[in-house]
Structure 1
Amino acid sequence: MYKIIACDLDETLLNDNAIICQRNKEAIQKAIEQGVKFVPATGRGYRSTQDILEELNLKDMAAEYVISFNGACLTENKDNTVLNFEGLTWETAEKLFELGQKYDVCIHVYSPDVLYVYHVDEDELNYIRLRYNFKIIDDQKNLEFLKGQKIPKVIYGSTDSEYLHQIAEELGSITDDLDVSYSSNRYMEFNKKGINKGSGLKKLAQKLGVSMDETIALGDNFNDLSMIQAAGLGIGMNNTNPKMKQECDYITEADNNQGGVAEAIEHFVLK
């Protein structure tokens, strides 16, 4: 029996309008009633998941959890209690911010409460408005204002994924001490080395005394790959990045707009 379902949010649980379809809600609720932990595992911060938790009747619930910032933070939903946090050093974030200004990318710098965005265009604004509490920092040339604060991760954003991979090559050894992943076909994400959704799922499973064989991971892109590989069952949505579909144990027939998460739960948990 599976005991934990770790599920990505954007382009997996949520449709293209950042909404949870009714089919997904019903399947998740049935799984929870059977004692399964449904755990959002997201690149977002945990405070940006509150509306989703409320829709799933998980907001402010004890013994329910969120893996956020790509695994940099593990929280219990009750009072948003932080159980584990492993972010970037300020020096690393500052270096990434400085280097990112040399490229035609939007830069995201995360604090626990606010997403700071630099060089953002209208397309990016339309995307993040649905998802984040953000502040534009185009007047900042460094991150002195964040010195001494927790910084979970940094992102470079561009809808040209080939350009992002080109940047990664040019950064070279700078990324040796980072965990680099890709999401939403528009972001290159930088976390502390060894910190990813897979490590977050392992920490939660260990805390709950659950074997990794008893976990399911659901996702659609490369920042989900670590947990898809770590879980007992790794499932990709029909809209999963084609380059990583072969890494999944199962690909749903439905995509994120059609209830792919529900399909997986119906097939492997409720059946």
Structure 2
Amino acid sequence: MRTYKAVFSDIDGTLLTSEHIVSTATIEAIVSLQKKNIPFVIISSRSASCIYPILKKHHFQCPIVACGGAWIEDMNGRILSNEGMSRQTAATVIEFMTEKDFDLAWGIYSGKNWITNDRTDARILHEESVVEVESVEGTVTLLPDDAVVNKILCMCNPACILQIEEDLKEAFPTLSIVKSSSYLLEIMPAGMNKAKGIRKFCETIGIATEDSVAFGDNYNDLEMLHAAGCGVLMGNAPAAIRETFPGKVTLDNNHDGIPVALKDLGMI
């Protein structure tokens, strides 16, 4: 059996149950890995500031790969990587979406900053309640001229999201635009994804990406799952993904899918 040296986990639909908590069995699995000096790394489209509440609530520390791979920090909070688009590029995208009058709300993630366009919008209020962090209402001009924008998050009307995605991809072919749920679109620099994030993290700790395990449940996790030595899909993933996924499929996020798979792999 292969010896894996790092574990990466998506958050929503993977690490967290539908009640937005980390189960006791999963916490015990994380602790077990850490005792063996195997990093358990949270990797998410969320910003770092929207990941910290999970660590605080469940009383553990771990490295973070945030904003879909653009922001990386070690378990002590030291920044290892900070990539993204320019403030001007982000402003151009926002202007385009405003002119098109898309049915969406947006958020800009830059480092630990989270700026949204309308904090009275129910979609933004919902996102704030999920991540347990309040955004700052404003525009990209709140950021310094030389700021790096790690990601733009679009919270769309599900009935319109595919058309919005198509229009954005046509207007901005140099950006990476990916659907991460029935209503969320992630806009990042070209080539930025979770696969790049795990490769970069593995490089910083001196291991091969093939020596890692990755857990995910949605479309924006697929590149990461294929890049890892062992990609594990959660049982609650959309049926279209489960039916074609060539790797391992574990139980869903409400039935300890992560620790069950780690036991199967002989890691805990």
Contact 2:17 2:254 in 1 (8 A): yes
- The Cα offsets for residues 163-214 of structure 1, whole Å up to 9 and x where unpaired, read as 2121121234333211222223321101111111100100111122212221
**Correspondence list, 1:161-240, <5 A:** 163-240=160-237
With normalisation by structure 2, the TM-score equals 0.89
Structure 2, unmatched stretches of 5+, are none
Work out the CA distance in 2 between the residues paired with 1:50 and 1:207.
21
Hey, what does 1:251 align to over in structure 2? Answer: 249
Q: CA deviation at 1:12?
A: 0.6
Q: CA deviation at 1:248?
A: 4.8
Hey, what does 2:35 align to over in structure 1? Answer: 33
**Correspondence list, 1:96-135, <5 A:** 96-101=93-98, 102-119=101-118, 121-135=121-135
Contact 1:198 1:228 in 2 (8 A): yes
Work out the CA distance in 2 between the residues paired with 1:170 and 1:54.
39
Cα 1:183–1:172 shift into 2, 3 Å? closer
Counterpart selection for 1:65 from 53, 57, 63: 63
Contact 2:105 2:117 in 1 (8 A): yes
Q: Which amino acid aligns with 1:103?
A: F
**Correspondence list, 1:12-23, <5 A:** 12-23=14-25
Hey, what does 1:75 align to over in structure 2? Answer: 73
Q: How many aligned residue pairs are there?
A: 261
Cα 1:135–1:31 shift into 2, 3 Å? closer
Paired residue secondary structure (1:11): helix
Work out the CA distance in 1 between the residues paired with 2:89 and 2:240.
29
Work out the CA distance in 1 between the residues paired with 2:133 and 2:86.
22
Following TM superposition, where does structure 1 have runs of at least 4 consecutive aligned residues deviating by more than 3 angstroms? Answer: 54-58
**Correspondence list, 1:39-58, <5 A:** 39-54=41-56, 58=60
Q: Which moved more, 1:242-251 or 1:89-98?
A: 242-251
Q: CA deviation at 1:268?
A: 1.2
Work out the CA distance in 2 between the residues paired with 1:121 and 1:51.
22
Q: Which amino acid aligns with 2:117?
A: Y
Q: CA deviation at 1:123?
A: 4.9
Work out the CA distance in 1 between the residues paired with 2:13 and 2:25.
15
Contact 2:168 2:177 in 1 (8 A): no
Work out the CA distance in 1 between the residues paired with 2:192 and 2:123.
29
Q: Which moved more, 1:243-252 or 1:228-237?
A: 243-252
Q: CA deviation at 1:100?
A: 2.3
Work out the CA distance in 1 between the residues paired with 2:94 and 2:150.
14
Q: Which amino acid aligns with 1:122?
A: A
Contact 2:104 2:157 in 1 (8 A): no
Contact 1:235 1:248 in 2 (8 A): no
Work out the CA distance in 2 between the residues paired with 1:175 and 1:23.
43
- The Cα offsets for residues 83-132 of structure 1, whole Å up to 9 and x where unpaired, read as 11111111211122112222010111112223222246335413432305
Structure 1, unmatched stretches of 5+, are none
Contact 1:31 1:269 in 2 (8 A): no
- Cα RMSD after superposing both structures: 2.0
Q: Which amino acid aligns with 1:95?
A: T
